[in-house]
Amino acid sequence: MKTQKRIYWSALGVLTAIMLFSIYNYFANYEMIAGFFEHLNYPTYLIYPLAIAKILGLIAVWTNFSSWLKEWAYAGFFFDTLLAFFAHYITDGQDYLFAFVALIATLIAYFVDKELRP
């Protein structure tokens, strides 16, 4: 049980750090992120809504307010990181490691959290 909790908190910490890093960049370095989005063939109007969705997802995961809301937050993080991974992998063939780590952290945090929840 202790090992599972450590794994959960480590994965959630990695996921949170990556999401906070991306949220910061979405707001502080908009022009740079818009260039990345254009390069990856994503519309730039998604930058601010995606940042807000990530903030709300982190709040849902960390507060345990609702298990239903937490499930949807994990689903959002899963699709976000999965699409980021494939976008980087297909367009560049490189720079996908960060998205891959976020994807793995999302999956680990979700499945270990499901085991730990009563």
Query: pLDDT tens-digit profile of 99-117?
Result: 999 999 999 999 999 998 8
Range of the domain at 53: 2-116
Q: Which residues contact 13 (CB under 8 A, 6 or more apart)?
A: none
Mark 86-101 as b/e (b = at least 16 C-beta within 10 Å).
Answer: ebbeeeeeeebeebee
- pLDDT: which is higher, 60 or 96: 60
Report the number of distinct structural domains present in the chain.
1
What's the pTM?
A: 0.89
For residue 117, give the 3-state DSSP assignment. Answer: coil
Residue-level pLDDT at 51:
96
Contact by Cβ (8 Å): 57, 71: no
> For 56-90, what is each residue's pLDDT tens digit?
999 999 998 888 999 999 999 999 999 999 988 88
Q: Judge residue 42's burial from the number of C-beta atoms within 10 Å of its C-beta, 0-12 exposed, 13-18 middle, 19 or more buried.
A: middle
pLDDT average, residue stretch 5-28: 95
The H or E element spanning position 3 is: helix 2-28
